Amino acid sequence: MAEYVSRKSYNSRLPPEVNRILYVRNLPFKITAEELYAIFGKYGAVYQIRMGNKDKDTRGTAFVVYEDIYDAKAAVDHLSGFNVGGRYLVVLYYQPAKFERREQQNEQEREVLELRKRVQANKEAMSKK
């Protein structure tokens, strides 16, 4: 407990983007959850790791959740640019607003594609008449 208090007073002002959830990119595709726990566990207690699946959008990514915000900060400070399996990690703080905007943009793109398909189908139907 004393260590936590001293760390907190040492870093009493953290930037607003600092939080317990980290977003990790550029992971080797064959890395295991156990290997991630070994790498990120060196900086504090890891609450959870969620790895991306085989989809091209989430492949090579993971979310790492620490129990303590100062451990997450230490991991970002030390692991950004760390070489794992010939790849340099990109470790960022999770920012929900960015992910929501990206999802909204993807949804809008899907809607535009659907509208284009409808318009193209209507044009083809009209040209056949």
pLDDT tens digits, 44-95 = 999 999 998 877 778 889 999 999 999 999 999 999 999 999 999 999 998 8
Q: Give me the pLDDT at residue 15, please.
A: 67
Q: What is the CA radius of gyration of the chain?
A: 21
Q: Are residues 89 and 106 in the same domain?
A: no
Domain for residue 1, yes or no? no
Q: Are residues 66 and 80 in the same domain?
A: yes
- CA dihedral 31→34→35→40, nearest 10 degrees, is 120
Dihedral sign computed on CA atoms, order 96, 41, 76, 18: positive
- Number of domains the chain is built from: 2
Q: What does the alpha-carbon distance between residue 84 and residue 105 come to, in Å, rounded to a whole number?
A: 32
